[in-house]
C-alpha cells in the first residue's frame, strides 16, 4: 500500500503589505530622482514661420507669457534664446525667427547652421508650428526642415510634435480630413531627411489659440500637453513634469499629507520627502486645507486616453513598476504622516497619486 505524502504547506505572502512596501520603495526612488532633477533644465525649441502663432502656442501650453507675441517681420535669421522659469523650475526656450521665412539672405545656410549649433547644444522638445488652413508645405518651411535636420541630425524629429494653428478656420465637416492631409504633407517633407520610420511617428495636434476647442468641439490643450510630454527626451522628462504637474491635478484630488501650495516652496525638514526619507514618520507641519474658493478644475484637463499615455511614459521612463502597485501608492501616504509636501516635487507626487488612484 502506497503511503500518501503531502507537500509542505507554503505560507501565502500577504499581498497588501508587500504591495505597500513596494509602493514606499518606489516613492523613495521617485523622490530621489525628483530632487536630482529639480535644478536641471529642459530645452524647448519653436520652429515655424512668423505669424503662425508660435508664441501664443507655447504661452497656452505653459500657462504664462514666456514668449512675446508679435506680428513683426524678421529682417534677419537669428536664434533667440530665452531663460525662463515655470513653477520654480528653470528651462530654456529657443525660437528661430526667420528660419522658415522667405528672406533675402537665403544662401547663408552654413553661417546659420553654425549659429544654431553655437547657441543650442541639445533639444529636449521641438514644436513645428504651421497654419492648418495652408494647402501645402511652403518653400521656406521646407528649407527650415532641412536646416533643423542638418543642425541636430534627423534624430531631433524623434522629440517633435507638429502643431497646426488657426484650426477654426476650417469647416467642422472637413476638419479631421484636413488635419490628416496636412499631417501627411509635413511628415513626407520631414521624411526626406529623417526617413519615414521617424517622420511617420511624429504626432500632430490641431489647436486654436483664440478658442478652447477645435471645430469638432473637443478641447485641444490636454492633447497638446500629452503629445509634448510623451515625445520629450528622457533627460527632459522629469524637469518638464516638475514644471507642469500642478497644472494637471484638480486641487481637491490631493490626498491627506500632500498640500497644494505655491510652487518653489522648500519641502519642510522631517516630511516624508526630505532626508531621511521615512514613510510613516511624522514631522513638518499639518496639511493646509484646500481653499474652497480656489479653482476646482485643473488648467489642463486630461481625458482617460491622455491619462493613460502620460501614465505609460511615467512608468516607462521615470519609475518602472508603478502600474504593479496601483492604489498602494496612495495608501503609502495616508495615515498619520502629518507632513506638508509643497512645491514642484509635491505637485508631481500629487499627480502620480491622482493618476494611479
Indicate left, alpha or beta for 257 from its phi (over 0: left) and psi (-120 to 50: alpha): left
DSSP 72: P
Q: Which residues have CB under 8 Å from 202's CB, separation 6+?
A: 157, 160, 161, 162, 186, 187, 190
Q: How confident is the model at residue 19 (pLDDT cuts 50, 70, 90)?
A: low
Q: Which residue has the higher pLDDT, 6 or 171?
A: 171
Q: What is the per-residue pLDDT for 286?
A: 34
Q: What is the per-residue pLDDT for 284?
A: 38
Rounded average pLDDT over 158-182: 98
Rounded average pLDDT over 19-33: 70
Would you say 59 and 165 are in contact if contact means Cβ atoms under 8 Å apart? Answer: no
Partners of residue 131 on adjacent β-strands = 165
Q: Which of 109, 123, 97, 110 has the alpha carbon at shortest distance from 45?
A: 123
Would you say 220 and 213 are in contact if contact means Cβ atoms under 8 Å apart? Answer: yes
What pLDDT digit, counting tens, does each position of 110-138 carry? Answer: 777 787 788 888 899 999 999 999 999 99
Cis peptide bond prior to 276, omega within 30° of 0: yes
What pLDDT digit, counting tens, does each position of 50-92 carry? Answer: 889 998 999 999 998 887 765 445 544 567 788 899 888 889 9
Sign of torsion, CA 344 346 349 350?
A: negative
Q: Which residue has the cell 515625445?
A: 231
Rounded average pLDDT over 150-155: 91
Q: How confident is the model at residue 220 (pLDDT cuts 50, 70, 90)?
A: very high
Q: What predicted TM-score, i.e. pTM, was given to this entire model?
A: 0.80
CA gap 337, 348 in Å, rounded: 18
Q: What is the per-residue pLDDT for 44?
A: 95
What pLDDT digit, counting tens, does each position of 308-352 carry? Answer: 999 999 988 777 655 555 544 454 444 333 233 457 887 888 888
Partners of residue 213 on adjacent β-strands = 219
Whole-Å CA distances, 190 to 27, 98, 144, 199, 214? 40, 19, 10, 6, 25
Would you say 293 and 248 are in contact if contact means Cβ atoms under 8 Å apart? Answer: no
Rounded average pLDDT over 141-156: 91
Where exactly does CATH 3.40.50.300 map onto the chain?
43-231
CATH superfamily of 43-231: P-loop containing nucleotide triphosphate hydrolases (3.40.50.300)
Partners of residue 127 on adjacent β-strands = 46, 161
Q: Using the predicted structure, report yes or no on whether residue 11 has a pLDDT greater than 50.
A: no
Which helix (H) or strand (E) segment holds residue 184: the answer is helix 175-194
Amino acid at each position: 500500500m502506497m503511503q500518501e505524502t503531502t507537500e509542505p504547506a507554503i505560507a501565502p505572502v500577504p499581498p497588501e503589505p508587500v504591495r505597500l512596501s513596494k509602493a514606499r520603495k518606489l516613492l523613495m526612488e521617485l523622490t530621489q530622482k525628483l530632487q536630482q532633477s529639480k535644478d536641471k533644465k529642459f530645452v524647448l525649441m519653436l520652429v515655424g514661420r512668423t505669424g503662425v502663432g508660435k508664441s501664443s502656442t507655447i504661452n497656452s501650453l505653459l500657462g504664462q507669457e514666456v514668449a512675446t507675441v508679435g506680428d513683426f517681420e524678421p529682417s534677419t535669421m537669428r536664434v533667440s534664446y530665452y531663460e525662463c522659469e515655470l513653477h520654480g523650475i528653470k528651462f530654456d526656450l529657443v525660437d528661430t525667427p526667420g528660419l522658415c521665412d522667405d528672406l533675402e539672405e537665403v544662401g547663408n545656410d552654413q553661417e546659420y547652421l553654425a549659429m544654431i549649433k553655437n547657441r543650442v547644444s541639445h533639444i529636449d522638445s521641438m514644436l513645428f508650428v504651421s497654419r492648418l488652413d495652408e494647402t501645402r508645405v511652403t518653400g521656406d518651411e521646407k528649407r527650415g526642415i532641412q536646416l533643423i535636420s542638418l543642425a541636430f541630425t534627423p534624430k531631433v524629429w524623434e522629440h517633435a510634435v507638429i502643431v497646426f494653428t488657426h484650426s477654426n478656420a476650417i469647416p467642422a465637416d472637413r476638419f479631421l480630413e484636413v488635419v490628416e492631409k496636412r499631417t501627411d504633407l509635413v511628415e513626407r517633407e520631414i521624411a526626406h531627411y529623417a526617413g519615414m520610420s521617424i517622420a511617420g511617428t511624429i504626432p500632430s495636434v490641431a489647436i486654436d489659440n483664440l478658442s478652447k476647442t477645435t471645430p469638432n468641439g473637443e478641447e485641444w490643450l490636454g492633447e497638446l500637453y500629452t503629445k509634448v510630454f510623451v515625445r520629450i527626451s528622457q533627460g527632459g522628462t522629469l524637469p518638464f513634469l516638475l514644471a507642469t504637474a500642478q497644472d494637471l491635478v484638480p486641487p481637491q484630488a490631493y490626498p491627506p499629507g500632500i498640500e497644494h501650495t505655491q510652487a518653489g516652496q522648500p519641502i519642510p525638514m522631517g516630511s516624508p520627502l526630505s532626508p531621511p526619507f521615512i514613510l510613516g514618520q511624522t514631522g513638518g507641519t499639518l496639511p493646509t486645507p484646500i481653499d474652497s474658493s480656489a479653482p476646482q478644475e485643473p488648467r489642463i484637463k486630461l481625458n482617460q486616453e491622455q491619462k493613460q499615455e502620460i501614465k505609460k511614459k511615467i512608468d516607462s521612463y521615470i519609475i518602472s513598476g508603478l502600474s504593479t502597485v496601483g492604489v498602494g501608492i496612495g495608501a503609502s501616504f495616508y495615515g498619520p504622516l502629518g507632513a506638508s509636501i509643497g512645491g514642484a516635487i509635491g505637485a508631481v507626487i500629487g499627480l502620480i497619486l491622482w493618476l494611479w488612484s
